[in-house]
């Protein structure tokens, strides 16, 4: 019988709070702080299906490589079969698509595009240098789906989504080096400056939003220091730190548009991610 620990590790569930804060931030940017709570919770649940399903499929596609480079992962360790992981991961994506169409054709199309992008990343990410761009597109589409589920896609959502896209491109580039515990080139990380710039521009004049931006900058500085130092264990630590930082990006945007309570909730999402990463590995 598959252990609970195996299920949690396959889904990298410690990172789920970042998905939830993505849904929250996109919803507020789309329609304002007065939200239909049920809809936001439903979109967060659907995005969780896509995230967990994508993580399961990632292990299924990477099983042969993991057997050589990360033999402790659940499939090469014999904790679960590859076919079962493919089946469950695919079923979770299918459920996400069905749920997405429950919010109408536009949201359904976004959900379908998100599922396709997740599959594309899982299939190609070990074989193309463009994989960080594909992964960035998945989080971009998280914002788009969450907004369309509420029936709106204003320019502010798209700007914020592009900021998140750039953030994920940078962190995914770093994550690609994790198996080798090194960073071959530093210059692609320059894209991490763009989300910070987006957050700062939107936060200007708002004390809470600026404070959260400073917190995000500090978190990014800690992660970048580890990447540049390149001591043993630094790259994976930097990656999980940057993953948690996505919630701080969301929090800065929430504060900037006048939702301080929800911004604090998103900050808590960052802390919760870091806490859960101590229990379930984030990569």
Query: Cα(170)–Cα(191) distance, rounded to whole angstroms?
Result: 6
Number of domain units in the chain: 1
Using CA atoms, how far apart are residues 154 and 189, in angstroms rounded to an integer? 28
* Residue 119 is assigned to a structural domain of this protein: yes
- Report if residue 283 sits inside a domain: no
Can you tell me the distance from the alpha carbon of 130 to that of 132, in angstroms, rounded to the nearest whole number?
Answer: 6
Range of the domain at 105: 4-277
Residue 181 within any structural domain of the chain: yes
| Assigned domain for 115 exists | yes
Question: Nearest Cα to 21, choosing from 53, 48, 59, 49?
Answer: 48
The predicted pLDDT at position 182 comes to: 54
Reported as type and span, the H/E element at residue 1 is none
For residue 238, is it within any domain?
yes
39 is a domain residue: yes
d(CA 38, CA 33): 14
* Cα gap 266→277, rounded to integer Å: 17
Residue 282 lies in a domain: no
Which tokens go with 245?
């930082």
157 close to 147: Cβ distance less than 8 angstroms? yes
d(CA 175, CA 173): 5
In a domain, residue 131? The reply is yes
The span from the CA of 269 to the CA of 250, in Å, is 10
- Each residue's pLDDT, cut to its tens digit, for the chain (283 residues) gives 468 999 999 999 999 999 999 999 999 999 998 888 899 999 999 999 999 999 999 999 999 988 888 888 999 999 999 999 999 999 999 999 999 999 999 999 999 999 999 999 999 887 878 889 999 999 999 999 999 999 999 999 999 999 999 999 988 887 776 554 555 565 567 889 999 999 999 999 999 999 999 999 999 999 988 887 767 778 889 899 999 999 999 999 999 999 999 999 999 999 999 999 999 998 8
Q: How far apart (Å, rounded) are the C-alpha atoms in residues 51 and 47?
A: 6
- pTM tops 0.85, yes or no: yes
> What is the model's pLDDT at position 1?
47
């Amino acid at each position: 019988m598959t252990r609970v620990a195996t299920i949690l590790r396959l889904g990298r569930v410690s990172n789920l709070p970042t998905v939830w804060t993505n849904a929250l931030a996109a919803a507020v940017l789309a329609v304002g702080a007065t939200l239909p709570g049920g809809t936001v919770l439903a979109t967060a649940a659907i995005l969780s299906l896509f995230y967990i399903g994508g993580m399961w499929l990632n292990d299924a596609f990477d099983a042969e490589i993991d057997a050589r480079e990360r033999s402790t992962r659940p499939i090469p360790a014999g904790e679960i079969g590859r076919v079962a992981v493919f089946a469950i991961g695919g079923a979770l994506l299918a459920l996400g698509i069905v749920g997405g169409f429950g919010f109408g054709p536009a949201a359904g199309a976004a959900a379908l595009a998100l599922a396709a992008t997740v599959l594309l990343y899982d299939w190609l990410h070990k074989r193309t240098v463009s994989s960080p761009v594909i992964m960035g597109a998945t989080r971009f589409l998280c914002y788009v789906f969450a907004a369309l589920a509420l029936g709106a896609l204003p320019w502010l959502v798209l700007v914020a989504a592009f900021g998140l896209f750039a953030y994920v491109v940078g962190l995914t580039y770093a994550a690609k080096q994790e198996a080798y515990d090194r960073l071959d080139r530093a210059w692609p990380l320059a894209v991490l400056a763009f989300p910070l710039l987006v957050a700062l521009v939107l936060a200007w004049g708002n004390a809470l939003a600026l404070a959260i931006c400073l917190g995000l900058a500090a978190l990014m500085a800690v992660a970048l220091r580890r990447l540049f130092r390149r001591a043993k264990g630094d790259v994976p630590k930097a990656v999980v730190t940057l993953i948690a930082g996505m919630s701080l990006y969301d929090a800065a945007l929430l504060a900037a548009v006048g939702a301080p309570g929800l911004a604090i909730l998103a900050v808590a999402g960052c802390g919760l991610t870091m806490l859960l990463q101590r229990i379930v590995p984030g990569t």
